[in-house]
Every structure is written in C-alpha cells, then in structure tokens.
Amino acid sequence: MIQHIDVHAVLQESVSGVYTDLVTRPTGRVVRECIERAMATAAADVAVARIDFTGVGCIDYSCADEIVAKLLRTRPGVLVLMGISDGHREAIEPVLAGHRLAVLIERPDGTLEAVGSPDAAAALLEELVARRLAARSPGGTLTLT
Amino acid sequence: MTRLVEVPTQFDDRSFDQFASAFAEAAKDGERLLFDAHAAEWASPYGLVGLLAAGQAAQGTGRASGGSGERPLLTAPTHADVLTYWTRAGFFREAAELFEIHGKVPRVKPAEESDVLLPVTPVRAAEDVHAVVSNIQQRASAILASELGLDPKATMGFAMALSEACQNIVEHAGTGGWVAVQAYHWRRKLAKRVVVIAVADAGVGFRHSLEPTQSKRFGTRWGDAAALEAALIQGVSRFRDPGRGQGLAGIRRYLTRWDGKIAIRSGTARIAIVPKWDDDVPLKDGLPAFPGAQVLIIIPEQGSTKR
C-alpha cells in the first residue's frame, strides 16, 4: 500500500498560506514534523510513502536537508518523491550525496530513478526489486508495483 | 561630541575597507557618529547595506559605552540623481529607523520595475527570507534568463543562493540585517551585465559564531580569517547536526556553475572564491575591524566572460 503526502498542502497548512517555497530551516522542520506525523498515523500495511512536491516553488539546501535527508535517516519505510522539478533536484541531489544517502524519484511517466550518492542509489534500487516493491519493465526501467 | 565617518564617494566592496577604517576609528570611544555621505556619487548594493550595518552597529556602540544612545547622524547625498537612486533602492526607508537623517530625501517609491531586482530589504526572521525568495523569483527570472543568458533553471538556483545567504543572518548574526539585489552593467571589470546580491549585518560575525566548536581545532591560527575559511571552504557550522553547513557549500556550487564570485567580510578578514575574470585575493586578514558579516555575490552575464 502507498501513502500519498502532498507537501504543498502541508506547507500551506502548517507554515504559510501565502508562500509556496520550501526555504529556511524552521520551515523545513515544521513541514518534516507534519510529514512524520502523517506517516506515523498511516495504516500498518503502508510500505511506501509517496511525497508529492507538485506546486512547491523553490527548495533551498536547508529545506532539502531538513526534510528529505532527515526523513531518510529517521524513517524506516521507502520514500518516493514525485512532482520533482529540475530546480528541486539541484538542491536535493548534493545534499543527499553529502550524507551518502539516496532517494527514489518517480518521474511523470511513473518510472523510478534513484538520486543521491551513487552507491546508496544502486543499493536502494536493488532493495526495491528484492522486496518486490518495484518491477523492471522489458526496457529496464523500474516502476512501483 | 560627534565623530565623523566619511562615506566614500564611490562606495562599494573595494572602498569598504576605507569606510570600515574610518568607522573603527570614530566608534572607539563611543561618541555619537555622523556618517557623511554628502559627496557620495555612487553606491553599490554592498555599500548601501554596509552603511545600514554601520548605523546598526553605531547605535549599539553608543549604548554599550555609556553614550547617549542617540541615533547616529547621516548626511544624505547632495547630488539629486544619487539621492533618487538611494531612495529607489529602498535605502532611506530602512535608514530612517537607524539614523537621524540630514538633507532632503525625495519622496520616491522603492523601485518596482527596474534593475533594482530587490530593494534594500530587512532580514530578521525566517518569514523575511520567505518574502525575499518569493519576490525575487517574480522579478529576477526575466533578467537572469534574457539579459544574463542564464539557463531558466538557474533562476531557482539563484533563489536558493539568496535564501541561504539571508539565512546566515537569521541563524548566526544574533541581530537583523539587510539584503539587496541589483542588475547592472559592470564596465570596469567585465564590460557586461551582472547581478549582484549584497547581504550585511552588524551581528556577532563568523568568528564569534563558530568559536565554541572550531577554535580548538585551529589553535593559535584561530581568528576571523580562520573562521571564514572554516565556513566557506570547509563547510563547517556552529551546529553539530551533520546536515549543517550546506548553505554556503550550495552557494559555492551554484557560483562555480555560473562563473560567479562570492566574497565574505567579517571582523578583520575577507575571503573570496575568485573566478578567472576577477583579480581579487582569496583571503585578506588584518583589515580594519567591522562588526557582523557582509556578503557579496556576483553572477556575470554568460557566454563571453573574459578569461
């Protein structure tokens, strides 16, 4: 089972109904804590949390660290990011690489990509297949099952 | 008694040390200060936010030394064009709270559609950073893409860099500060357009902020220069959280990609990541003391930068 979390909605409800950018540590902390609470109340059979960044403007390095890196370090489940723009990736990738972490990004066509530290990214994809949470297409791309 | 601090006629990062020297000399006995900008012919965003930081520091100095606590004086530029530009850049809106201003200040609204991408804006809390990032994305994207030739993707990186630069004030200065962003044609150095971010505060500075966690590591080398080196080159932070220190590292990555420059002055030192088009020195120590931190970021027009 997949849990869907709308980050833009979390931002609007928890921090600001005006701004759409994920900037500053305090903002990142509040948004992460809301996401963690939502994940904690999810059904027991949720194996994947899909964190949807659609509608989020800018993400700075502080928020990438405070939200994505800390969720990866503290939450045992599988995280999949969606609605990720090139600008979002610019912040998320180097932050994760610095922590030797990786995260899954679901592209608009549903295929998965692991970004961050190359070693961690390869291990993440292997784990996903081993746990049968994702399957390879004949073309070699991965999608969630 | 009132001590005079002359504002350089061309007030930017290159003349800032001259200003800092005059400020340090005048402020040492805690007397009321008069900042004399009547002869100013031009000021960069760095000069404007630096002058505000000096005004902020002058108030603190007066009180701490048993002075009257009166606001420092500021003589406004007499040249009409200069006065109008300083007003359009939002300087006097902020200066009115810090200085007793002498001279006629025109009633001009801060710029909304011009090369002033972000007028002088106070940064005191995370909410201010949100406002700055939101405003800059609306106003800067066209100039960054069409005039500087940056990939449209670079706009978001620019907002990230700006956000992190402003957050340094909120998280480390212990006081408020100011940011300003402007695009202009930089004839002297590059003969092309640049976008400049200037951030300044009169807070505790990098050395004080990092001292509890870093001074032992540096031993006798510890000082303003070592603190700047630790922050900008080594990416250390005063926080023990392993994710900290990302901000300046991220700014460096962004500037490397777009051939930009960053220089940070704090206390008696100044550090810079110097691109090939510039002849600045990477590290200067023993400069005239000036409180807080002052950050300069320059992103040049892409495509034909002198090498």
Would you call A26 and B130 a contact, using CB atoms and an 8 Å cutoff? no
Would you call B126 and A19 a contact, using CB atoms and an 8 Å cutoff? no
Query: Which domain does B241 fall in, by range?
Result: 111-307
Which pLDDT score, from 0 to 100, does residue A139 have?
83
The complex scores an ipTM of 0.83
CATH classification at residue A7: 3.30.750
Give the residue-averaged pLDDT of B184-199. Answer: 84
Give the residue-averaged pLDDT of B72-96. Answer: 94
Are B200 and B234 in the same domain?
A: yes
- pLDDT-derived band at B90, boundaries 50, 70, 90: very high
Mark A8-40 as b/e (b = at least 16 C-beta within 10 Å): bebbeeebbeebbbbbbbbbbbbbbebbeebbe
How far is B294 from chain A, CA to nearest CA, in Å?
Answer: 19
Name the residue among B127, B157, B253 with its Cβ closest to that of A87: B157
Torsion angle in degrees (nearest 10) through CA of B56, B58, B63, B65: 140
A70 to chain B, any CB pair closer than 8 A? The answer is: yes
- pLDDT-derived band at A46, boundaries 50, 70, 90: confident
Q: Among residues of chain A, what percentage have pLDDT more than 70?
A: 99
Give the residue-averaged pLDDT of A45-72. Answer: 92
Task: State which residue of chain A sits closest to B250, comparing Cα positions.
Answer: A61
| Boundary-marking domain end, from B104, B128, B151 | B104
- pLDDT-derived band at B163, boundaries 50, 70, 90: very high
Lowest mean pLDDT among A36-40, B52-56, B149-153: B149-153
Are B12 and B152 in the same domain?
A: no
Do residues B287 and B270 touch, judged by C-beta distance below 8 A? yes
Write out chain A residues lying below 8 Å of B163, CB-based.
21, 23-24, 58, 60, 62
Would you call B156 and A19 a contact, using CB atoms and an 8 Å cutoff? no
* Model confidence pLDDT, tens digit, residues B46-61: 999 999 999 999 985 5
Lowest mean pLDDT among B103-117, B124-138, B183-197, B251-265: B103-117
Would you call A58 and B156 a contact, using CB atoms and an 8 Å cutoff? yes
Helices A25-40 and A7-14, axial angle in degrees (round to 10): 110
Q: Which comes out higher in pLDDT, residue B40 or B29? A: B40
Give the residue-averaged pLDDT of B264-269. Answer: 97
Structural tokens at position B199: 């951030």
Are B12 and B123 in the same domain?
A: no
Find which of A19, A22, A62, A73 to mutate to test the B interface (most B CBs within 10 Å of its CB): A62
Domain count of the fold of chain A: 1
Which pLDDT score, from 0 to 100, does residue B123 have?
94
Domain count of the fold of chain B: 2
Find which of B124, B133, B141 to mutate to test the A interface (most A CBs within 10 Å of its CB): B133
Task: Enumerate residues 6+ apart whose C-beta is below 8 A from A130.
Answer: none
| Boundary-marking domain end, from B81, B104, B127 | B104
Give the residue-averaged pLDDT of B265-281. Answer: 95
Which pLDDT score, from 0 to 100, does residue B62 have?
53
Residue B137: pLDDT over 90? no
* Residues 14-33, chain A, touching B (beta carbon < 8 A): 16, 18-21, 23-27
Lowest mean pLDDT among B112-121, B207-216, B284-293: B112-121
Are B124 and B272 in the same domain?
A: yes
How far is B291 from chain A, CA to nearest CA, in Å?
Answer: 24
Write out chain A residues lying below 8 Å of B155, CB-based.
87
Which pLDDT score, from 0 to 100, does residue B24 have?
95
Which pLDDT score, from 0 to 100, does residue B86 have?
94
Which pLDDT score, from 0 to 100, does residue B306 have?
45
Cα B305 from Cα B113, distance rounded (Å): 27
Which pLDDT score, from 0 to 100, does residue A34 have?
95
Give the residue-averaged pLDDT of A54-71. Answer: 94
Q: Which comes out higher in pLDDT, residue B181 or A140? A: B181
Which pLDDT score, from 0 to 100, does residue B304 have?
54
B159 to chain A, any CB pair closer than 8 A? The answer is: yes
Pick the closest to residue B284 from B294, B273, B272, B270 (CA basis). B270
Arithmetic mean of pLDDT over chain A: 90
Are B290 and B168 in the same domain?
A: yes
Which pLDDT score, from 0 to 100, does residue A69 have?
95
Would you call B159 and A85 a contact, using CB atoms and an 8 Å cutoff? no
Give the residue-averaged pLDDT of B141-156. Answer: 76
Residue B66: pLDDT over 60? no
Give the residue-averaged pLDDT of B295-301. Answer: 93
Query: Which domain does A113 fall in, by range?
Result: 2-144
Determine the 3-state secondary structure of B25 from DSSP.
Answer: helix
Which pLDDT score, from 0 to 100, does residue B63 have?
47
Write out chain A residues lying below 8 Å of B250, CB-based.
60-61, 91, 94-95
Are B66 and B183 in the same domain?
A: no
Residue B136: pLDDT over 60? yes
Are B56 and B133 in the same domain?
A: no
Are B99 and B213 in the same domain?
A: no
Residue B69: pLDDT over 70? no
B130 to chain A, any CB pair closer than 8 A? The answer is: yes
Pick the closest to residue B295 from B235, B231, B244 (CA basis). B231
Write out chain B residues lying below 8 Å of A99, CB-based.
242-243
Which pLDDT score, from 0 to 100, does residue B307 have?
42
Are B249 and B144 in the same domain?
A: yes
* Cross-strand pairs, B182: B116, B196
Q: Which comes out higher in pLDDT, residue B283 or A14? A: B283
Are B232 and B298 in the same domain?
A: yes
Write out chain B residues lying below 8 Å of A19, CB-based.
130-131, 133-134
Residue B305: pLDDT over 60? no
Task: State which residue of chain B sits closest to A90, comparing Cα positions.
Answer: B157
Give the residue-averaged pLDDT of B92-109. Answer: 89
Residue A68: pLDDT over 90? yes
Which pLDDT score, from 0 to 100, does residue B111 have?
60
Arithmetic mean of pLDDT over chain B: 88
* Model confidence pLDDT, tens digit, residues A125-138: 998 888 888 888 88
How far is the CA of B155 from the CAs of A24, A55, B59, B151, in angstroms? Answer: 18, 17, 37, 8
CATH classification at residue B88: 3.30.750.24
